[in-house]
Amino acid sequence: MAFSVAKPVRVSLLVLAVLFVTAQLVPLDRSNPPSDPQQHFRVVASPPAAVASVLDRSCRDCHSNDTTWPWYSRVAPMSFLVVDDVKEGRLHLNFSEWGKLDARRSARKLEQICDEVRSGDMPDRKYTLLHPEAKLSPADVQAICGWTEQVLAK
């Protein structure tokens, strides 16, 4: 009796298919929590329009309560990654809740924003692979850091 590879492969594919379908049933929180518009970064920090536009284009989806959830955020296993990244992003920096920060913390967050974009760590490469429009040009980085440094110098 010869050993057949076909049966183990079919069983493995069936198991993977069942796991994939089952993963779709896991409920994930893809909500955008309500927030007070008066607490938003744009209102409280009053960045120039060019800086606000860049931050909106490149940072809003992960760092605010105004996430545009893409189609792949509904398909496991990508959904697990996207939901976790947004949760982490909001935890570290949430532009929708900027007004809740005291002066010391908001100054530190401005420093971190500049550090992260200048180093190229943000926006995250996973995000820019699927959202190339979110990539920051050298001019974008200069606009962000120039403004944050100007605010911090006051």
pLDDT per residue as tens, the chain (154 positions)? 555 668 888 888 877 877 777 767 777 888 999 999 999 999 999 999 999 999 999 999 999 999 999 999 999 999 999 999 999 999 999 999 999 999 999 999 999 999 999 999 999 999 999 999 999 999 999 999 999 999 999 8
- Is residue 1 a part of any domain in this protein? no
Q: Which residues, in sequence order, are CB contacts of 82 under 8 Å at separation 6+?
A: 69, 70, 72, 73
Domain that holds residue 145: 6-153
User: First and final CA of the chain: distance in angstroms?
Assistant: 83
Q: Per the structure, how many domains does the chain have?
A: 1
